[in-house]
Amino acid sequence: MIEYQLDTDGVATLTWNVSDRPMNVLNQASIAAFTEAVERAINDQNVKGVIVTSSRPEFVAGGDLDLIRDIRDVQQSMECSGPISRILRRLETSKKPFVAAINGSALGGGLEICLACHHRIVADDPNIQLGLPEVTIGLLPAAGGTQRLPRMIGIKKALPYLLEGRKADPAKALEAGIVDAMVPSTELLSRARAWLLSAPAEAVTKPWDRKDFRFPGGAPQSPGSIQIFFGASGSLLTKTQGNYPAPEAILACVYDGCQVDIDTGLKIEQRQFARLATSPSTKNMIRILFYDMNDANRLAGRPKEVPKRSFKKIAILGAGMMGAGLAHVASMAGLEVVLLDVSKDAAEKGKAYGAKILEGQVARGRISESVRDTALGRVVPTTNYADLSDCDLVIEAVFEDRAIKAEVTRKAEAEIRDDAIFASNTSTLPIGGLATVSKRPARFVGMHFFSPAEKMPLVEIIRGAGTSDETIAEALDFAKRIRKTPIVVNDCPSFYANRAFAMYPYEAMTMLAEGVNPNLIENAGRMTAMPMPPLALIDEVSVELLYKAMKQARADQGNSYQTQPQDTILITMVEQLKRLGRKTGRGFYDYPSDGGRKLWTGLADHFPLATRQPNVEEVRERLMYSQSLEAARCVAEGIVSVRDADIGSLLGWGFPSFLGGVLGQIDTVGLPRMIAACDRLAEQMPERYAVPQILRDMAASGRTFH
C-alpha cells in the first residue's frame, strides 16, 4: 500500500498506492502501512529527508467510510482515528524533513498528511482539489486538520475550509498559504527532492513547536478572533438550528484547541471526533450522502439483463421553463436537442433561456465562450414533428393537461423510431392514464424532473403498467448521461415525491385552519432544518398551483374525492382573497417592492387564532412526521423502495440529511415514540395520521428501515 524507495542521496520516497480500493484512502491497513514506512524512514540514519506522494491519479482521497461507519463507541473511535493522528505528530517532530509532493486531489485525511509535512508542493493542475470536506458528512478532520490549518493560515482564513468544507485548486491553495509552491506536474518530484536536499535546519521544526510562535491574523484570545468566534457561532445556529453537530464540534475544536499547545489540541480534536462518529446524525449522513447516493448514481437497481443504451439526439416537446431547462442540461451533456413548441418564437425563447444561463457562466469565468457556443449550437428550435424522426428519446414537457399531452403524444409517435423512448414529464398525472393514447405503451415512461431542471439533481422515473424493463433501464441510462440522480417509482397519482412532500405544506395549512398561530408554524418549520418554513414555501411554489392541483384531483376522482383539511385554506386564499403567492406579491406573506417578506397581518382576520396553542415541538412533529408517514405508506404500497424514498426526499425537496431522509427519520426517532405521537394525532385526524400496518409490524418485531 505504501511503496518505499531510498536513493543514493538519502532521499526516501513514500508512494501511496492502495491497490485494493478505487482510490487511495485511509483505513486500518493503509494507516498501518504508512506508519511502518514513516518509522522506517525516521529510524534509518541514511535517510536525510522524505517525499510523500502517490502513484494514483489522486494523492489521498480521505478516510475510508467503511471504517467510520462501523464505529459504535468512543473506544472504537479512538482506535480508528488515533493511529493516523499519532503518526502525523511523530512525522512532524521527527527532526527529519518531510515534503508532500501533491500530484492529485488531497481531501480530508489526505490534506491532513500534507499539513503535517514540513513543506508542501502541488502540481499545477486546475483539476486538483485540496480541502477538508468532512463537515459535509457530519464529521470533522480527525488527523490534526482543526489544529494545524488555523495555526498555519490563521483562524479567520481556516474556518471556511473547516466549517463549510470549502475546497481550493492549487492556485487558490497557494494564495491561501495551504501549500508552499506550485510547479509543473513533470517537475513535482524533482522539485520536492531539491527542497529536501537544501532545506534549512529550522525547517524541521514546525512554527507551532517554537516558543516564539504567533497565530497568523491574531491569537485566539485577541479581540478580533473573539469577534470571529462569536460571529461564527451565531451564523451556525441560524443555519443549522442546532440540528447538525459537526460544525459546532469543529468550532469547539478550533476555539478550545488553539488556546492550548498542539498536543492538547489534538486530544480535544480526538474527543470531539468520537462524539460525532458515534452520533445518529453522522451515521445518517454517511449512509444517505455516501452509500445510498453512490448506489443511486451508479444505477444499482437497474435491470442488469438490459444492454446499456447510448444517446445521441433527443427531443423536448414544450419550450417553457421546464422544457428550456431540460434542453440546456442535455446540450451541456453533449446531446443534440430538438426543442419543439407550437410557434418558432416560443421555441426560440426556450433556447434563449439556456443562452442566458450560459452567458452568466461565461461572465463568472466558469466556462469559455467556445463551450457556450458549442452547447447552444446543439439546440435546434422547431415546430415540425418530422424533426423527431431520428431522436433516441422524446420528453414531453407541456402543460399538465391530459388533452394537450394526448395530442403531442400522438403527433410524436407518428414520427419517432420504434426503439425511441417516449417520456412524460408530468408531475401528478398517472402514467397509466397518459399511456392509453400511446401505440407503444412498453416504450412509454414517466420522467418527472424537478424545477428548475438545470439546478435540481433528482429525476423520478415512473413505471406505468405497460412500461417494459428495457425502457426503465434505458431511462436510467439517460438520467446518468445528463448527470441527474434517478429514483424509480411505480405509478400512482402524484407518484412518490410530490405525494410525500405535499404533507409538509398541507400540514401547515391544516394547522392554520385549526387556529395555530402562523408565526408558530413558521418558526417550527425553521427549526426542522427544512429548506424553508412551510407557508413561505407555499408562496414560492405558488398558492395557486396547489389550488389547481386540488381542483384537478377533485375532477379526476369525482364523487370519491374526500375533502382535505387544507382545501378550505386554498379556496379562501385563491378564490376570495386573490393571494396567489410570491409571484403576485401577495400570499401568506406580503412582499414589499423594496424586497424581503413579512407574514401577512390579515391572516388572523380570516383564520382566527385558537385559544389553546400547541408547543413548538408539537408543531415540528406534525410537519415532519406527516411526511414520513406518507413515505411509509408509499413503501407499503410498493410505490418506492426504502433507499429511493430517502434519496428522493433529500434531493427532491431538501429533507434534512441529519435525519437520514424521510424514512431515516423514523429509525432516528424510534418507532415506539413515533407511533405513539401519530396515534395521539390520529384522534383528531384519523386519516392523515393513521399509522400504516408496516410500521406496527416493524415495531412489534424490532425491525428498522436501515
Q: Which residues are tagged catalytic?
A: 112, 134
For residues 430 and 493, is the Cβ–Cβ distance under 8 A? yes
Ranges of beta strands (E only) in 250-364 are 313-317, 336-340
Cell of 428: 401528478
Cα–Cα distances (Å) from 261 to 209, 258, 304, in that order, read 8, 7, 56
Rounded-to-integer distance, Cα 476 and Cα 98, Å: 47
Side-chain-side CA neighbours of 362 within 13 Å: the count stands at 15
Which among 487, 482, 505, 485 has a CA at the least distance from the CA of 497? 487
Evaluate whether 112 touches 88 at the Cβ level (below 8 Å).
yes
CA distance 314 to 379: 10
Task: Return the number of other C-beta atoms located less than 10 Å from residue 215's C-beta.
Answer: 19
Helices 74-92 and 109-116, packing angle to 10 deg: 30
In three-state secondary structure terms, 60 is strand
Are the beta carbons of 253 and 191 closer than 8 angstroms? no
Residue 39 buriedness (CB in 10 A; 0-12 / 13-18 / 19+): middle
Q: Which residues contact 137 (CB under 8 A, 6 or more apart)?
A: 65, 282, 285, 286, 289, 290
For residue 581, what is the DSSP state?
A: B
CA distance 593 to 608: 28
Choose among 635, 625, 616, 632: nearest CA to 685.
625
Q: How far apart are CA 216 and CA 150, in angstroms?
A: 8
Cα(323)–Cα(317) distance, integer angstroms: 7
Q: How far apart are CA 656 and CA 660, in angstroms?
A: 7
